[in-house]
Amino acid sequence: MKRTKIIDLYKPELIGSTVDVMGWVRTRRGNKHVQFVALNDGSTIKNIQIVFDMGHFTDDELRPITTGAAIHVTGRLVESMGKGQTVEVQAEKLEIFGTADPESYPLQKKGHTLEFLREKAHLRPRTNTFGAILRVRSTLAYAIHRFFQERGFFYLNTPLITASDCEGAGAMFQVTTLDLNNLPRTEEGKVDFSADFFGKPTALTVSGQLEGELGATALGAIYTFGPTFRAENSNTPRHLSEFWMIEPEMAFYDITDNMDLAEDFIKYCVNYALTHCADDIEFLSQMYDKDLVDRLKFVVEHDFVRLTYTEGVEILRNSGRKFEFPVDWGTDLQSEHERYLVEEHFKRPVILTDYPKEIKAFYMKQNDDGRTVRAMDVLFPQIGEIIGGSEREADYDKLLARINELNIPMKDMWWYLDTRRYGTVPHAGFGLGFERLVLFVTGMTNIRDVIPFPRTPNNAEF
Ligand code: 4AD
Ligand code: MG
C-alpha cells in the first residue's frame, strides 16, 4: 500500500503534495460545514489533523469515524491556519478500514489511569503514553547494539533453557515435558528426570553470564541482550518475572575498566534517547514528571560517585535516618538505602563496590581481606540498582573452593571451571536490567508500564 507516515508529513518538503495517510482516529470534532479528525499512526507522538469539507462529504460517510477506528485518507498536505499544528491534510477521499464501536471500545475516553490501562494491555499501545514508551524502548534497544558494535563487542546469544542456576538464587521456572499428572518415578520414589526431555532437570535462565564468559574468553568482548526469567514472588514496582537483560563480558578487564564501561554505556544510552526521542520524552515529562529531562541531562553530564560498600554502610549508619530495614555491615542493601545514598546524600548516580562475599554470587573475584568480593552495583535516582556486575574470580583453586563452600554441584559446573583451567584471564562484566533503564528514561514509576506484556506473579493474560 502506498502510504506516507505521519512523522514524514512534518517534513517541509511534502507541503503541497497529495498524500495517503493511514492510522487510528484519536478524536473527531467540528460542525456541519467542516469536520476535524486527529489521526495517529504510531510513527510519532504527533497526530495529523485531517480536515473534511462537508460540502464534499456526507454525514453518513463520516459516521464510522469514531475514536479508535482505522481509516485511510487521501488528500493534500497544506500549511495549517489553526493553532496547535503546522500542517494538515485536506481530505479528498476516505476509506474506512475498521470501525470501533463507541459503546464497547475500551479507550473511547481520554485520561485513563495507568492501572486501568494495565488491565487493557492488549490495547494500551494505542494510547499516547504507551506509544511514547514503546518508541523510547525500541530506540534504547538500538542504542545498546550501537554502543557495543561501535566498540568491537560481539553479540552472543546464550541459551534460554539451562541446567545451571547462575545467580544461585534458586528462583527458576522449571522447563519440562513430563506429564505432571503422571510423573515417572525412580525406585526411591523421586521424579525420574532421566525420562524428561533433556534427560535432566532444566529451567529458564536467570542470566546469560556464565555462557557469556565462555564467549568473552574466546572473542575478547561480547554482550548478550535477551529475556531473563526469575520466579521470585516479588510484587514490587521494580521486579518482573520476565525481563530483558544486557550482559557485556570482557576479557582483560578489571573492576575499574568494568565501572568505566558501565558508566559510559548508560550515559550513551540516555543521551541517545534524549537526542532521538525528544518529542516522546517531552510528552512523558509534561504528563508525568516535570523534572524528567533535567534528570536525564544531569546523569549524562556528571561523573558517577564510586565508593565501597563498607563506606556506603558507614554513611547510612551515620545518616540519622530511620530505615524500614536497619543497615549493618553484612546486610544486603534495600532500595530505600540505595536511594538514600543516590537521591539524598550524593545527589547523583553511585557505584558501590566490594560487597561482603556472603551476599554476592560465587563467581566474583575474592579480595585479599577474605571478607569482600570485587562486586559493583550501579545505583540510580528513582530506580535503585540498575546494574549489577563484578570482576570474576579467575583463579581455578579459589573459584573451586568457593563452589565447594556453597555446595554447588560440580556436575553442573565443570564446563564453567574449564575457563579457569585452560588459558584463564582476568575478566569482568555486568548486567543491565533493560526495563530499569527504560523506567529511568521514560520517568515511569512502575516496571509493568515499560514492557509491552508484563509477566508478574498471577499475571500472564496478554
Ligand atoms: O544483579 P543481577 O541479579 O546480576 C546478574 O544477573 C549478573 N549475572 C549480571 C552480570 O554480572 N552479568 O541482575 C542484573 C540487573 C539488576 O541490576 C537489575 O537491573 C536487573 O538485572 N534485574 C531485574 N529487572 C527486573 N526484574 C527483576 N526481577 C530483576 N532482577 C534483576
Ligand atoms: Mg544485583
For residue range 131-162, list pLDDT tens digits in order: 999 999 999 999 999 999 999 999 999 999 99
Residue 33 and residue 160 in one domain: no
In a domain, 183, yes or no: no
Per-residue model confidence (pLDDT) at position 434:
98
Q: Where is the domain boundary, 76, 105, 134?
A: 105
| Residue 348 and residue 244 share a domain | yes
Q: Is residue 372 part of a domain?
A: yes
Find the 140 Cα to ligand 1 centroid distance in Å. Answer: 18
What average pLDDT does the segment 278-285 reach?
98
pLDDT value of residue 109: 86
**Domain end: 105, 133, 150, which one?**
105
What distance in angstroms lies between residue 387's CA and the mean position of ligand 1's atoms?
7
Q: 164: pLDDT confidence band, cut at 50, 70 and 90?
A: confident
Average model confidence (pLDDT) for the chain? Answer: 96
* 450/462 Cα distance (integer angstroms): 15
On whether residue 324 sits in a domain, the answer given is: yes
364-391 pLDDT per residue, tens: 999 999 999 999 999 999 999 999 999 9
Confidence of residue 169 (pLDDT cuts 50, 70, 90): low
Q: Is position 49 within any domain?
A: yes
- Whether residue 308 is contained in a domain is answered as yes
Count up the domains in the chain and report the number: 2
- CATH number, domain at 47? 2.40.50.140
Atom of ligand 1 nearest to the CA of 390: 11
Most informative mutation of 144, 230, 236, 245 for ligand 1 (most atoms within 8 A of CB)? 245
Confidence class of residue 82 from pLDDT cuts 50, 70 and 90?
confident
Query: Is the pLDDT at 309 greater than 80, yes or no?
Result: yes
Report which of 87, 91, 86, 65 is spatially closest to residue 78, judged by C-alpha positions.
Answer: 87
Amino acid, res. 272: Y
pLDDT band, very low/low/confident/very high, at 461 (cuts 50, 70, 90):
confident
Whether the predicted pLDDT of 186 surpasses 90? yes
**165 has pLDDT over 80:** no
Single residue among 72, 105, 138 that ends a domain in this structure? 105
End-to-end CA distance of the chain: 30
Are both 60 and 152 inside the same structural domain? Answer: no
Average pLDDT over residues 296-317: 98
Q: Are residues 92 and 140 in the same domain?
A: no
**Same domain? 339 vs 377:** yes
**Are 271 and 131 members of one domain?**
yes
Question: In terms of domains, do 86 and 132 share one?
Answer: no
Helices 292-301 and 434-442: angle between axes, nearest 10 degrees: 120
**Do 353 and 428 share a domain, yes or no?**
yes
Does 240 contact ligand 1 (Cβ within 6 A)? Answer: yes
pTM beyond 0.95, yes or no: yes
Indicate if the pLDDT at residue 340 is higher than 90. Answer: yes
Over residues 70-80, the mean pLDDT reads 97
Three-state DSSP state, 36: strand
Both 75 and 135 in one domain: the answer is no
Give the ligand whose atoms come closest to the C-alpha of residue 379. Answer: 1
Asked whether 450 lines ligand 1 (CB < 6 A), one says no
Strands (DSSP E) contained in 167-321 are 174-175, 202-204, 221-229, 242-251, 305-308
Q: Do 167 and 100 share a domain, yes or no?
A: no
Other beta carbons within 10 Å of 210: 22
Kindly give the distance from the C-alpha atom of residue 292 to the centroid of ligand 2, in angstroms, as a whole number. 25
CATH of the domain at 365: 3.30.930.10
| Containing structural domain, residue 52 | 6-105
- Ligand number nearest CA of 207 is 1
Mean pLDDT of 187-208: 96
Task: Identify whether residues 69 and 134 lie together within a single domain.
Answer: no
Residue 389 CA to ligand 1 centre (angstroms): 9
The verdict on residue 41 lying in a domain is: yes
Q: How confident is the model at residue 166 (pLDDT cuts 50, 70, 90)?
A: low
Interval between CA 402 and ligand 1 midpoint (Å): 21
426 and 329 part of one domain: yes
Using the structure block, give the residue that is written with the C-alpha cell 536525564: 296
In a domain, 406, yes or no: yes
Q: Which of 97-101, 233-237, 245-249, 355-359 has the lowest mean pLDDT?
A: 233-237
Are residues 46 and 7 in contact, defined by beta-carbon separation less than 8 angstroms?
yes
Inform me whether the pLDDT recorded for 234 exceeds 90.
no
Residue 118 lies in a domain: no
Give the range among 18-27, 33-42, 402-411 with minimum mean pLDDT. 402-411
